[in-house]
Structure 1
Amino acid sequence: MSHAADQLRDTLRAPLPEAFDQLTDTDLADLDRLLREALTRRGHHLDAAITNSLDIVPRLMRPAIKKALGL
């Protein structure tokens, strides 16, 4: 298995489907890059959603909520 396939497998945290054997190393590397970018964007969106959701929490309760969420 190539380095690109190993890296994609690590990113997915799962074995690659058999059909991925037909992809070139360049395709696998591009897929890995796109997946990592999507995961990063999702993380940023989740952080923004959590931050924005604190706006509906009464101000006096925010420290307790942040502590419960680990923020």
Structure 2
Amino acid sequence: MADEHPDADPGAALRAQFRGPLPPSVTALPAAAALDLAEAMRAARRRQARHLTDATEDSLRQLPRLLRPLVRRAIGL
């Protein structure tokens, strides 16, 4: 059933992505556009996380191998 899908409510999907109150211009969007916006924001956050992970790994490769595990532990990886 479509009602059981978490994105069935465009407002809830967008609030989850905005992580706060929605601007009036966003609440005025038609349901289909709101769901598209929520999915675009989810995709952007996934890309951002992937880029941050890649940048972190590239930075760690600059360290001597013996220090990498210590630095990983120190920064919580």
Q: TM-score, normalised by structure 2?
A: 0.82
* Alpha-carbon RMSD: 1.4
What secondary structure does 2:20 align onto?
Answer: coil
Residues matched between the structures, number: 70
Please identify which structure carries the higher helix content. 1
User: Separation in 2 of the partners of 1:9 and 1:66?
Assistant: 33
- Please state if 1:16 is matched with 2:16: no
What secondary structure does 1:60 align onto?
Answer: coil
Which runs of structure 2 are paired with 1:37-48 in the superposition (5 Å)? 37-48=43-54
User: Separation in 1 of the partners of 2:28 and 2:68?
Assistant: 52
**Counterpart pick for 2:72 among 57, 66, 70:** 66
Partner of 1:29: 35
Q: Give the C-alpha shift of residue 37 in structure 1.
A: 0.2
Structure 1: which 5+ residue stretches go unaligned? none
- After TM superposition, the runs of 4+ consecutive aligned structure 1 residues lying more than 3 A away are none
- Please state if 1:4 is matched with 2:10: yes
User: Separation in 2 of the partners of 1:7 and 1:22?
Assistant: 14
Q: TM-score, normalised by structure 1?
A: 0.89
Structure 2: which 5+ residue stretches go unaligned? 1-7
User: Separation in 2 of the partners of 1:22 and 1:60?
Assistant: 55
Q: Give the C-alpha shift of residue 21 in structure 1.
A: 3.1
